[in-house]
Structure 1
């Protein structure tokens, strides 16, 4: 596949990145509402309107810099506020609220599989554009899902683990939360994070790529041209 210029990369990545991170946050609020916490709805955050969720650094600056550098696109939105005490069964329900984010990314990845199928059916320039955007959507959602499933607070997987573990172990794990982000950065710069995540990311990409209607080599060619 031909190398994309900066404007083409922006056009391809913009919607997948914005909606991957905003749908993720909205899902947390939606699940919390189901279990008795209306905080996100009361603050106007139970919406798919990206403007309500945009973090100037995580949603715009960081993805933009990565895009210009030609690296893997990544970002985050403003966390949806959850009032722990409003949940009917706070420990259990908080784990389910946390799980809602990664699950939403899996659903979004499946949505982009359908868009890739539509692009393959359409063909021509519109079809190619949809295929590129769909592959970007599959990739960013799988990355966000797998990353957030790591059992490290404050990631969603860490909060799921806190909700599932018995009292003392749960409390000990929750104490890591203030140090979670520095630990994540350390794992990233040492290459350990990639070694942990990449096998699962590769497995999901292979599975979903096979559902797009694209030949495996074509799916990989589009993916490599994007990252």
Structure 2
């Protein structure tokens, strides 16, 4: 199985798993915080076709990071609109980190129990895909946590910025996103995103250290 096919297949898996989970997490958190807007519009679902955005999906396939259709919210239904908006935004990246954590547990268990005893090329390919799914979930979480409109991180940023400053920045959301496209496709964002992703990967590796111990005991 070539690295290109593995990479492409992994990105398709992420499109149909990580992005729907990410958006459904936004909808779930918003509903729990008092705003059922997304739920009423059918966005509290894991059906990928309810969430996928054409441009964001292409970015996933080309650059490995992207986005889905934004989940609609009505912040005035939250008890505290600013905090509610930030928490509902945080739920998306948090869901990708949780997915990466779960996949890492299965990867370590599988790699320890199967690959150490020798396996076929097909099994190696499956575990290579599994590792890439972990990395792409981490990349999605890191990318969406950037404090850049309209990414989730910008909604978390509004907690610490004066409201007037935040609204002034949001007026240039379209131009800022075009700049992000440019930085993404030219690779300029690759270095900081890779650094942050490695940090998060190391954290998850540490938190799943008990699996390494368990595998050695088996």
Match of 1:115 among 106, 110, 116: 106
Identify if the C-alpha distance between structure 1 residues 56 and 37 changes in structure 2 by more than 3 Å, giving closer, same or farther.
same
**What displacement does 1:135 show?**
0.9
RMSD value, Cα? 2.6
User: Match for residue 3 of structure 2?
Assistant: 4
CA distance in 2 between partners of 1:186 and 1:129 (Å): 33
CA distance in 2 between partners of 1:186 and 1:54 (Å): 21
CA distance in 1 between partners of 2:17 and 2:110 (Å): 19
- Asked if structure 2 preserves the Cα contact closer than 8 Å seen for 1:13 and 1:133, the reply is no
CA distance in 2 between partners of 1:22 and 1:81 (Å): 14
Which region of structure 1 is more displaced relative to structure 2, 174-183 or 99-108? 174-183
Unpaired runs of 5+ residues, structure 2, are 213-218
CA distance in 1 between partners of 2:165 and 2:59 (Å): 35
User: Match for residue 223 of structure 1?
Assistant: none
Match of 1:132 among 113, 128, 134: 128
Match of 1:89 among 48, 63, 80: 80
Match of 1:23 among 9, 21, 25: 21
Could you state the TM-score of these two structures normalised by the residue count of structure 1? 0.77
User: Match for residue 77 of structure 1?
Assistant: 68
Match of 1:168 among 151, 164, 171: 164
Residue 145, structure 1, aligned to residue 141, structure 2: yes
Which region of structure 1 is more displaced relative to structure 2, 16-25 or 142-151? 16-25
CA distance in 2 between partners of 1:104 and 1:138 (Å): 12
Identify if the C-alpha distance between structure 1 residues 63 and 191 changes in structure 2 by more than 3 Å, giving closer, same or farther.
closer
User: Match for residue 45 of structure 1?
Assistant: 43
Residue 104, structure 1, aligned to residue 104, structure 2: no
- Asked if structure 2 preserves the Cα contact closer than 8 Å seen for 1:95 and 1:160, the reply is yes
1:9-41: CA deviation from partner (whole Å, max 9, x where unpaired) = 444443233211111111111111111110111
1:57-115: CA deviation from partner (whole Å, max 9, x where unpaired) = 433x4445x3xxxxx43332222211222222212211111111111111111011022
CA distance in 1 between partners of 2:25 and 2:43 (Å): 10
User: Match for residue 204 of structure 1?
Assistant: 200
Match of 2:174 among 144, 167, 178: 178
**What displacement does 1:191 show?**
4.3
**What displacement does 1:51 show?**
2.5
Could you state the TM-score of these two structures normalised by the residue count of structure 2? 0.80
CA distance in 2 between partners of 1:5 and 1:189 (Å): 18
Query: SS state of the match for residue 2, structure 2?
Result: coil
**Number of aligned residues:** 205
